[in-house]
Amino acid sequence: MKRLLFVCVENSCRSQIAEAFARIHGRGELEIYSAGSRPTGKVNPKAIESMREIGYDLSGHDSKSLAEIPAVEYDFVVTMGCGDECPYVRARQREDWNVPDPKNLPPEPFRKIRDEIERKVKDVLRRFT
């Protein structure tokens, strides 16, 4: 089974949303992970609410560090625009999305970023699976 990893600094918002969409649209065909270089230890409440609006319960997800996920070569790694703060992770393919961090945005701009992440995840899944 192929492994897909989403990385951002805090693993509380963007990478969590991306992981959720990969689980929704990946149809159980992939091992899907998300992690952060400096995780907050909790998922952002706005991310939980934003995903609840579309019927996904993100409240069961945990914000975790890269040290907490398997130390393997991933088939595909996506970073969320964290630049130098995203450490190197072994991967066959990688991509940086440069998605703005929505954590301090009001609901409507937050939803736009959520929807942008969904489009990008769907695109990766089309190319990757």
Residues taking part in catalysis: 8, 82, 86
β-partners of residue 4 are 32, 76
Q: What angle do CA 103, 88, 2 make, to 5 degrees?
A: 85
DSSP 58: G
Q: Which of 15, 29, 23, 7 is nearest to 89 (CA)?
A: 7
Q: In what order do the strands lie in the sheet with 91-96?
A: 30-36, 2-8, 74-79, 91-96
Region of 83 please: left (phi>0), alpha (psi -120 to 50) or beta: left
> Which two structure tokens, joined as six digits, stand for 85?
């703060």
